[in-house]
């Protein structure tokens, strides 16, 4: 069984290693999805456009929604993020999955 903490660095997953099993792959994907959700990793951009609210998730390209109310928009963004994270990720033999740490941009930091 894998013993991982939220603060552990995310190391590359090398799928061609003989000791790497499909079960470990699924555990790693599950851990990463949980890490993203637990840390509120998805950042929405929302705005009113005419009679509609529109929004998208910076961290999950492809999650874009339009709703009549801000509350409905935020709920749709959450559902879109959950659907995107539930999507299976196909891999070729020898492929790797990894993450990179990026600092928050200066414009996002509060004074």
Instruction: Please report the pLDDT score of residue 76 as a whole number.
Output: 94
Q: Report residue 89's pLDDT band, with 50, 70 and 90 as the boundaries.
A: confident
Do residues 10 and 96 lie in contact, with contact meaning Cβ atoms separated by under 8 Å?
no
Q: Report residue 7's pLDDT band, with 50, 70 and 90 as the boundaries.
A: very low
* Structural domain boundaries in the chain: 42-90
Angle separating helix axes 70-86 and 22-38, nearest 10 degrees? 160
Instruction: Please report the pLDDT score of residue 103 as a whole number.
Output: 81
Each residue of 13-56: pLDDT tens digit? 444 444 455 556 666 666 655 555 554 556 889 999 999 999 99
């Amino acid at each position: 069984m894998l013993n991982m903490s939220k603060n552990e660095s995310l190391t590359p997953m090398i799928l061609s290693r003989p000791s790497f099993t499909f079960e470990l792959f699924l555990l790693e994907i599950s851990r990463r999805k949980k890490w993203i959700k637990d840390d509120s990793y998805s950042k929405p951009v929302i705005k009113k456009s005419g009679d509609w609210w529109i929004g998208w998730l910076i961290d999950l390209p492809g999650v874009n929604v339009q709703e009549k109310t801000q509350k409905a928009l935020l709920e749709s963004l959450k559902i879109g993020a959950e659907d995107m994270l539930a999507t299976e990720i196909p891999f070729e033999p020898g492929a790797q999955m990894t993450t990179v740490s990026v600092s928050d941009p200066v414009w996002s930091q509060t004074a």
